[in-house]
Amino acid sequence: MKRDIKKPKSSIGFLVDENLPPEVSNFIASMGYRVAHIGINKQYLILAPKKSTKDAQLKKWVQFMIFITKDKKLLKPGRFPSKNRGVFVLDCSDSTIMNTIYHLFDIGQYLWKKDFVLTDRRFMIGVDFFNELNLDGTLLKKY
């Protein structure tokens, strides 16, 4: 008999992609959130997938955690699981990664408290914009 694992109402934290520096997960942890960083295992972090984990293998992780990356390829159709807790792709072309993260957590204060509203949604964020994208990668809404 197959046992269904019920998806929790809220995410269990943040999953930071390996393409982001350790300062990102350190900052998120310092804000009091649970965080895992792909390829980095520290005592204060949740156990994370290994470095070079295939995108398809992240499926189980992103069903329970909000994913933060700078990999814009994941916004292309079919490149990332459509069932997720929320995906934030950082566009750091006009700023540093950390300035973009500070901006994300500044404007995301409301979102993290009610993170269920992020389920199955994709966002591209920079220091001066916050856009939601459709599954096909086209712009859905500017915030």
pTM: predicted TM-score of the whole model, two decimal places: 0.87
pLDDT tens across the length of the chain (143 residues): 455 555 566 788 999 999 999 999 999 999 999 999 999 988 889 988 888 777 667 888 899 999 999 999 888 887 878 889 999 999 998 889 999 999 999 988 877 878 888 999 999 999 989 999 998 888 999 98
For 101, the domain range is 14-142
Return phi, psi of residue 16, to 5°: -100, 130
The verdict on residue 1 lying in a domain is no
The verdict on residue 2 lying in a domain is no
The verdict on residue 95 lying in a domain is yes
C-alpha–C-alpha distance, residues 120 and 39, integer Å: 24
pLDDT score, position 55: 65
The verdict on residue 94 lying in a domain is yes
Written as six digits, the tokens of 3 are: 């046992």
pLDDT score, position 116: 85
DSSP string, 10-71: S---EEE-TTS-HHHHHHHHHTT--EEETTB--TTS---PPTT--GGGGHHHHTTSEEEE--
pLDDT score, position 125: 94
The verdict on residue 33 lying in a domain is yes
Total count of domains within the chain: 1
